[in-house]
Amino acid sequence: MDTADRIAEKPVSEPQRTAVLEIKQLKKAFGSNVVLDDFNLAVYRDENVVVLGRSGSGKSVLIKCIIGLLKPDLGSINVLGEDVLALDHDGLDHIRMRIGFLFQSNALYDSMTVRENLEFPMRRHLKNMNTDEVNERVNEMLSNVGLLHTIDMMPSELSGGMQKRIALARTLILKPEIILYDEPTTGLDPVTGREISTLMVEMQEKYKTSSIIISHDMKCVKATADRVVVLVDGKAHAIGSYADIRQSADERVKQFFE
């Protein structure tokens, strides 16, 4: 499905849509380095929002604030009805179960097999699941990414693209409602990058997740974005569909397409 179809299917201005994630007036500075400054963004149910920004613009800081790894100086972050900044340790742990996070580095455990990597989050968070249910979930997610045959392999035996797929399967294993992707196609060849982008869209449609995708890979942006947010000077400088952003006359937006 191309971007035009996705946009036609999901009008971005529908007023009654539910925000699953709402960030208001977020500010985060490290000493005199003001990284996020009055940053505002709402992500709606069943929507993929891409955050586009130059290196060092604060994209990873933004994601870390959302999952409570960094504490902002000002502003509010509401995720699935919870005020993230007011949550205690247990509350944060609980909300993180509902948010999947795909690290740029994949963060697979080298000493564990693919199966063990996928079982790990379930052991921690879904202690009531029996062995059959765990096996079934592992098989479901590996089938989703087309890698059931790698179940007993070690991550080091897999290509970069396969590792990314396994990392995606692990991100999905708890069936999160929101997924945060940090540069999911960076470092992959264009064909593999396209496959990962396609898989991200398929998984979003299958599990009805909402996502924030950090990327500067324009092919990935075009393939996955329902909306694009351009992060400049710590603010959501421009927000719109891929087509809107692509056609922008703003120099600070145009630079991403050169």
Ligand X SMILES: Nc1ncnc2c1ncn2[C@@H]1O[C@H](COP(=O)(O)OP(=O)(O)OP(=O)(O)O)[C@@H](O)[C@H]1O
Stretch that binds Mg ion, among 16-24, 33-41, 55-63, 235-243 (CB under 5 A): 55-63
> Cβ-closest residue to Mg ion?
60
Q: Which residues contact ligand X by CB under 6 A?
A: 30, 33, 35, 53, 55-61
Positive or negative, the CA dihedral 194, 198, 47, 125 is negative
Q: Is 54 or 175 the residue whose CB approaches Mg ion more closely?
A: 54
Residue 56 touches which of ligand X, Mg ion, none (Cβ within 5-8 Å per kind): ligand X
Nearest to 182 by CA among 102, 96, 68: 102
By CB under 5 A, what part of segment 56-75 binds Mg ion? 60
CB 55, min distance to ligand X, A: 3
Q: Is 62 or 200 the residue whose CB approaches ligand X more closely?
A: 62
Query: Tokens standing for 111?
Result: 């000493």
Nearest to 86 by CA among 102, 100, 72: 72
Q: Is 105 or 143 the residue whose CB approaches Mg ion more closely?
A: 105
Residue pair 210/45 in contact by the 8 Å Cβ criterion: yes
- Start-to-end Cα distance in the chain: 25
Q: Is 15 or 31 the residue whose CB approaches ligand X more closely?
A: 31
CB 55, min distance to Mg ion, A: 7
**CB neighbours (10 Å) of residue 175?**
15
CB 232, min distance to ligand X, A: 11
Query: Tokens standing for 55?
Result: 């290196």
Bridge partners (DSSP) listed for residue 187: none
The whole-angstrom separation of Cα 86 and Cα 78 is 10
Q: Any contact of residue 197 with Mg ion (CB under 5 A)?
A: no
Interface contacts to Mg ion, rule CB under 5 A: 60
